[in-house]
Each structure stands twice: as C-alpha cells, then as structure tokens.
Amino acid sequence: MRTEAVAYTESVAQEAAATIAAEARSGVPERGRFGVALSGGHAPWVMLHAFEHENFPWENLFVVQVDERAAPDREPDRNLTHLRECLIGSSALRPEQICATPVEPLSLDAAARYALTLGKLAGLAPILELVHLDLGPDGHTVSLVPGDPALDVTAVDVTLTISIKDGVG
C-alpha cells in the first residue's frame, strides 16, 4: 500500500481518479471486468467529476454504491444523483452498470433485491476489485457511525442501518 499526503480536495480527487482508472485498466485483463465500490459525500463527488478526464475501460466496469442518503430519487443530496450526473452521459458507462443502493421505500425487500443484484454483478460471495471509502468529519464511513449495530452483521452481504446523523443514512 502506498500512502501519500495531498493538500487539497481537488488534488486528492484527481489522484484518486487517476489511481482508480489505472487499477481498472490493469484489472480488466485478469477478470474481464472491474468492480468498484464508491462512497458518497462531497469529496468523492469531486472525484467523480475527475473521472471524465481518465481513460477507463467503461464497457467492463461496474459501480456499486456503498452508501446512500434516504432521500427521493434525483435529489441533490443523493449520492446516486451525482453518480448518474458524472458517469452516465459523460462516459460510456450505462445505467445498468451501476448497482444503486435502494432507499425508497426503505424495506427488507429492497435490500434483498440489492443483494441479488450485487451477487449477479460481483459473484457470490461478492468480489470487488476496488473499494473507495470516504471518512466523514464525525468519523462515519459508508453511513456507519461507531457503535451502529449494522457493524456487527457478518452473515449477509447487505444490511440496513438506521444511523442518521447530519442527513447521512
């Protein structure tokens, strides 16, 4: 693992986009596809914009959301809204290559459908080539805060969290 200190959000975003693109280009020949899980939040949204300047193997890429805000479809606070705006249209990524986190209505059926979709894209047990996680100012990542009961779930690939802090959930 390489550690690098970068001073500005834009610089981190550009470096992350370049790194993910390079990993995707080198990973596709091995498995014929490249699964990347992307977190949401403001810093990752800057990274998504930087993706359009990178050479991705779009046709062999699939994107999995690792967190989402409980908000109506197409709301500006939804991470899916930013994924769609940044990746669909400005790249060759198709909507079916995004495994969207279900949040409306929040139900066990929706979580089960998400788990099935994840299994179809990434296999059982799911294998993703790269997972990008952002860390919020309160220490949360992927909508999980310290002490959340969802952190103890190990028997399934997808679980619901009821943690909601500052609009994250």
Phi and psi angles of residue 97, each rounded to the nearest 5 degrees, phi first: -90, 0
- The answer, yes or no, to whether residue 87 has pLDDT greater than 80, is yes
Q: What is the pLDDT of residues 61-79, one digit of tens each?
A: 999 888 777 777 888 888 8
pLDDT at residue 166 in the model: 42
CATH assignment of 9-136?
A: 3.40.50.1360
- The answer, yes or no, to whether residue 57 has pLDDT greater than 80, is yes
Q: Does 124 or 23 have the greater pLDDT score?
A: 23
pLDDT class for 58, splitting at 50, 70, 90? very high
Q: What is the pLDDT of residues 104-127, one digit of tens each?
A: 666 667 767 777 777 777 776 667
In what side-by-side order are the strands of the sheet with 61-65?
98-99, 61-65, 34-38, 130-132
Residue 113 is inside which H or E element, if any? helix 108-122
Whether omega before 24 lies within 30 degrees of 0, making that bond cis, reads no
pLDDT at residue 56 in the model: 94
pLDDT class for 165, splitting at 50, 70, 90? very low
Under 8 Å between Cβ of 150 and 163: yes
DSSP 8-state secondary structure symbol assigned to residue 142: T
Per-domain boundaries in the chain: 9-136
The dihedral built from the CA positions of residue 93, 62, 14 and 136, taken in this order, carries a sign that is positive
Contacts of 74 (CB under 8 A, 6+ apart): 81
Question: Could you tell me the pTM of the whole model?
Answer: 0.75
How big is the chain by its Cα radius of gyration, in Å?
16
